[in-house]
Chains A and B, each alone.
Chain A
Amino acid sequence: MSQPDEAATDALPEPEGASELIETDYEIGQDNITPRIGPFGLDIHNPVFVVSGLVVVAFVIITLAFQDAVGPALGAMRGYLTSTFDWFFLMAGNIFVIVCLGILVSPLGKVRIGGADATPDYSYLGWFAMLFAAGMGIGLMFFGVLEPAYYFGTPWGDQPLGRDIGIVDGELMDPATVEAARLTAMAATIYHWGLHPWAIYAVVALSLALFAYNKGLPLTVRSIFYPIFGERIWGWPGHVIDILAVFATLFGLATSLGFGAQQATAGIGYVFGIDGLNDTATFPVILIAVITALALISVLRGLDGGVKVLSEINMVLAVLLLLFVILVGPTMTLVTQFFGNMGAYASEIFALSNPVGREDDGYRQGWTSFYWAWWISWSPFVGMFIARVSRGRSVREFITCVLLIPTIVSAIWMTTFGGTAIDQLINQVTESAVYGFVIDAYVPELSLFGMLSELPFAAITSVIGIILVIVFFVTSSDSGSLVIDTITAGGKINAPVSQRVFWVIFEGLVAAALLLGGGLVALQAASVSTGLPFAIVLLLACYALVRGLLTEPR
């Protein structure tokens, strides 16, 4: 037998070319325990796995048992946080964008994730498909028609920047007002899906990737804070950060899965003309079971065979749907509008992102601040997943592909879906299905199908829409389980597969329990509420990130 590993450590070369490892006595996996439950061997971090598992179960039980009290309390807390701290969320969002753009243009952009000689694990296309599917795929399906149409004609007074709207009491305004309202609606929508959310993801993802792949710390959220807390991150401060991340991810996913099942059910009912599918929980629960089963298969096929394949399928389907709407919808209008919308986004971004002295409370607090809290509470999940697939990219390449390209893609998507919907509103006013679902009666889950119903081949495109929604959820459920498993295994990515299976099933069960017992809204409020503490955590992460990058060889 040869000598033990430890003796060989000093003679080893630097990892993948030059990089600056952090010297720590902590050994990855040293706090892990490896119990056996029947034939299942586990490799889990103690106490992160145990505490997060128990907290989730306790929270679900309490929410189900006392939903009359818990629901309104959590809802009120969410309302309080997003309306009282709106300035803080908006300001934090601006800081994330500035930090990312600053790194992009500075020499720090030359640093390579994984060491100077690391090579990328995925092609551009596979990589981009995965980050888009994890980042916002499902949101684009839900809000693509809803948000622009809503801002264009909201009768509830929460239009962006307090500007005039295009339709008042079912009457179309004069052409100049309509055009101004359209541009404001598009700019305000792209603002929510553009630089700001992706900057939030980029900060988390880049920090995680840097501290794991370049600094040699475990791939878990606590590692980002090493420059600030030092060795203390291996103790309770680190446990709390990781548990919060698991909590936000699991509840974010479970509530989205619950809502998603209801939306897909509504869509199926609408497309196939079946009434009352959503009246009982039976059909949505079956849908959750189907999504969970598909996610299970995807999990067992791994990153390459599962998430990547699904993300690519989704990208192809989404591009087909996009091209269809562009070609069949008002093609030339959409093409010219795209540049106008980007111009409006560029010129309005300062007014929209201004955190103080504004009077559009409905938009700023009800939409922007809520979105920012939502993106931030999702950032450990999306950030960790993006980090996982981004090794080998340079920081400049990373920020370009995680910040700038998604912003353009989101803008194209919003222009196409929102632009077509607004075009229908302008031409048919109260006769259009979008008017019925967005402005007259608020049925947001049907807005996309309403828009598609006025284009040819509506039956086919609506079915593609439903498939896209379902596959996006499968992808989220799979990648979410991957992330939760990595965090609860103390940053190890080779933990036994049974743990991932556990998290996929657990997530489906939590979603089904909440759907049956009520409490989806309450838990969504709880996970959004984690946005505020996380916003503070992320601001600290910006500091740690820049410090970490400064010590890297460029």
Chain B
Amino acid sequence: MFRKVIFPVDLTHFDQLDKALQVATDLARHYGAELCFVGVTGTAPDPVAHSPAEYAARLERRAQDHAAATGLRTGAKACHTPDPTIDTDKTLLAAIRELGGDLVVMQTHAPSALDYIWAGHGDTIAAHSEASVFLVR
């Protein structure tokens, strides 16, 4: 039913994504789909990497490690934008379209009052992506 599962990744908090990654892995295995890590980074150095290229290499490494550990087909796409604070959602949506992802599994924070003003990344992706979206709290 699904051919490509997109897994948006925040490399800064990769160790907190266990639950969502497990769901993404299970679904990809169940449908025999490819699992693709997508990360969005800024152009300036940040705690994860000194440059977009270094970030891309780290993300690729994550995907390869995951393939080795699970036997799944994995891919990685690193996107960069000059203003990640604002443009992360827009960039993710474009990447999902470009990659042809038909299922998105992503981790999201517990809802709070602020969501009435600023929706979280997961909410926005679910509201605007044509793919099916599975949010993991």
A interface residues (Cβ-Cβ under 8 A, vs B): 1-5, 8, 11-17, 19, 21, 27-30, 38-40, 114-115, 117, 121-122, 212-213, 216-219, 300-306, 388-389, 391, 486, 491-498, 500
| Inter-subunit contact B113/A39 (CB<8 Å) | yes
For residue B133, CB closer than 8 A to chain A, the reply is no
Residues of A within 8 A of B65 (CB): 2-3
Question: In the bound complex, how far is the Cα of B15 from the Cα of A331, in angstroms?
Answer: 67
Please measure, in the bound complex, the distance between the C-alpha atom of A2 and the C-alpha atom of B65, giving whole angstroms. 5
Q: Count A-B contacts at CB 8 Å.
A: 120
Q: Is there an interface contact between A28 and B82, defined as CB atoms closer than 8 Å?
A: no
Contact of B14 among A5, A114, A217 (CB under 8 A): A5
Question: B69 contacts the other chain (Cβ, under 8 Å)?
Answer: yes
Q: Interface size class for chain B?
A: 35 or more
On chain B, the residues within 8 Å of A388 by CB distance are 44, 82
B114: shortest Cβ distance to chain A, in Å?
4
With A and B bound together, what is the CA distance between A494 and B52 in angstroms? 14
- A301 and B86 in contact (CB under 8 A), knowing A28-B47, A213-B43, A216-B45? yes
Is there a chain A Cβ closer than 8 Å to B130's Cβ? no
> Which chain B residue has the least Cβ–Cβ distance from A490?
B47
Let me know if B85 and A500 touch, CB within 8 A: yes
Q: In the assembly, what is the distance between CA of A1 and CA of B41, in Å?
A: 22
CB neighbours (8 Å) of A114 from chain B are 43, 51
Interchain CA distance A305-B90 in the complex, whole Å: 11
**For the complex, what is the distance from the CA of A39 to the CA of B120, rounded to whole Å?**
12
| A16 to B44 Cα, complex, angstroms | 12
Q: Is B112's CB under 8 angstroms from A2's CB?
A: no
Contacts known (A5-B14, A121-B82, A302-B83); A16 close to B46, Cβ less than 8 A: no
Whether B69 pairs with A2 at a CB distance below 8 angstroms is yes
Question: Which residue of chain A has its CB nearest to the CB of B14?
Answer: A5
Residues of chain A within 8 A (CB-CB) of B69 are 1-2
The 8 A CB mask of B35-49 against A (1 = contact, 0 = none) is 000000111111111
Chain A residues with CB below 8 A from B51, complex form: 15-16, 19, 114-115, 213, 216
Known: A16-B51, A21-B50, A39-B113. A219 touches B45 (CB 8 A): yes
Show 16 residue pairs from A and B whose CB-CB distance is below 8 angstroms, ordered by the A residue: A1-B15, A2-B66, A13-B54, A17-B53, A29-B47, A38-B113, A114-B43, A216-B45, A219-B44, A301-B86, A302-B86, A492-B44, A493-B85, A494-B42, A494-B85, A497-B85
Within the complex, the shortest CB–CB distance from A347 to chain B, in Å, comes to 41
Q: State whether B85 touches A495 (Cβ < 8 A).
A: yes
Whole-angstrom distance between the Cβ of A53 and the nearest chain B Cβ: 19
Please name 10 further chain A to chain B contacts, defined as beta carbons within 8 Å, in addition to the given A216-B50, A492-B47, sorted by A numbering.
A2-B69, A14-B53, A16-B53, A28-B47, A30-B47, A213-B45, A216-B51, A218-B45, A389-B82, A493-B83
Q: Which of A1, A304, A494 has the most CB of B within 10 A?
A: A494
What's the minimum C-beta distance from B94 to chain A, rounded to whole angstroms? 12
Q: Which residue of A lies closest to B17 (CB)?
A: A1
Which of chain B's residues has its CB closest to A40's CB? B114
Q: Which residues of B contact A38 (CB under 8 A)?
A: 113
- Cβ distance B86 to chain A, nearest Cβ, rounded Å: 3
Whole-angstrom distance from the CB of A449 to the nearest CB of chain B? Answer: 36
CA A454 – CA B31 in complex, angstroms? 75
Contact partner of A494 (CB less than 8 A), chosen from B18, B53, B84, is B84
- Known contacts A2-B69, A5-B14, A15-B54; decide if A491 and B86 are in contact (CB<8 Å): no
Bound together, the chains give a CA A11 to CA B14 distance in angstroms of: 19
Which residue of chain B has its CB nearest to the CB of A2?
B65
Question: Whose C-beta in chain B lies nearest to the C-beta of A12?
Answer: B57
Interface string of B75-116 (1 = CB under 8 A from A): 000000111111110000000000000000000000011100
Q: Which residues of A contact B114 (CB under 8 A)?
A: 39-40
Most buried by A among B43, B46, B58: B43
The residue in chain B whose Cβ has the minimal distance to the Cβ of A387 is B44
Residue pair B48, A303 in contact (C-beta under 8 Å): no
Q: Is the CB of B50 within 8 A of A497?
A: no
B11–A5 contact, CB under 8 A? yes
User: What chain A residues lie within 8 Å of B61 (beta carbons)?
Assistant: 2, 8, 11
Cα distance A365–B126 in the bound complex, in angstroms: 61
| Minimal beta-carbon separation of A43 from chain B (angstroms) | 10
Instruction: Report B-chain residues with C-beta under 8 Å of the C-beta of A302.
Output: 83, 85-87
Judge whether A497 and B57 touch: CB under 8 Å: no
